[in-house]
């Protein structure tokens, strides 16, 4: 596939809030839910040693306050969001996009910064960034800086490190910077 040099003109999100009545019937599909549980359980088990199972929603594991200032009722699609977990939600998102709009060639675009589902033209199917108010242009730019999978191909996801490993790594990096700055100041 030929990579576009920049974000396609007029790219937008499939409006999950507006089209929720078209999306909702597919959410009870057993195969779709198996994908969600299999992938997101890797995330929750790795990060916090907590299982994710059928009947739970990714938002139940939210650890970031991006949503706290929202006034009024939480949009229904927010139940399927989790900050910093796009890579473990993207296979579910791809499958759901294929079910909602089967006439499009949905594929995953992915980088270290973001993963999302794209129809290859002008539409992104993305829960996280849409909920968090990140523009479709920025979503595309962050995800497309990596690679584009074949239409319908799932992203291989692995179990992430436990959060304590990230905390220890960040602490070591801060200490290195402090030591470096202390030496440089002499």
Per-residue pLDDT of the chain (186 residues; tens, 9 = 90+): 445 556 777 899 999 999 999 999 999 999 999 999 999 999 999 988 999 999 999 999 988 777 677 678 889 999 999 999 999 999 999 999 999 999 999 999 999 999 999 999 999 999 999 999 999 999 999 999 889 999 999 999 998 776 655 656 666 778 888 887 875 545
**Angstrom distance (rounded) from CA 105 to CA 38:** 24
The pLDDT of residue 172: 75
Pinpoint the alpha helices (H) of the chain: 20-23, 30-48, 86-100, 128-132, 136-144, 163-185
Cβ atoms of 75 and 131 closer than 8 Å? yes
The pLDDT of residue 183: 57
Write phi, then psi, for 67 (nearest 5 degrees).
Answer: -100, -10
The pLDDT of residue 163: 61
Cβ atoms of 122 and 8 closer than 8 Å? yes
The pLDDT of residue 180: 78
Q: What are the residue ranges spanned by the domains of the chain?
A: 12-185
| pTM summary value | 0.84
Residue with the two structure tokens 């220890």? 168
Cβ atoms of 127 and 16 closer than 8 Å? yes
Question: Could you tell me which of 74, 84, 93, 87 has the C-alpha nearest to residue 26?
Answer: 93
């Amino acid at each position: 596939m030929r990579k576009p040099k920049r974000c396609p003109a007029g790219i937008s999100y499939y409006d999950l809030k507006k089209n929720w009545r078209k999306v909702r019937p597919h959410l009870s599909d057993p195969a779709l839910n198996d994908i969600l549980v299999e992938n997101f359980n890797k995330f929750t088990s790795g990060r916090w040693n907590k299982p994710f199972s059928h009947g739970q929603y990714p938002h139940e594991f939210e650890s970031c306050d991006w949503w706290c200032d929202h006034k009024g009722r939480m949009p229904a699609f927010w139940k399927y969001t989790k900050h910093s977990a796009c890579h473990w939600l993207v296979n579910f998102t791809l499958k759901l996009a294929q079910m909602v709009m089967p006439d499009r060639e949905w594929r995953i675009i992915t980088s270290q910064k973001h993963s999302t589902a794209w129809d290859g033209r002008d539409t992104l199917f993305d829960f996280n960034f849409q909920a968090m108010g990140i523009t479709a242009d920025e979503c595309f730019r962050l995800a497309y800086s990596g690679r584009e999978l074949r239409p319908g191909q799932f992203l291989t996801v692995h179990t992430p490190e436990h959060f304590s490993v990230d905390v220890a790594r960040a602490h070591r990096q801060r200490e290195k910077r402090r030591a470096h700055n202390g030496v440089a100041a002499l």
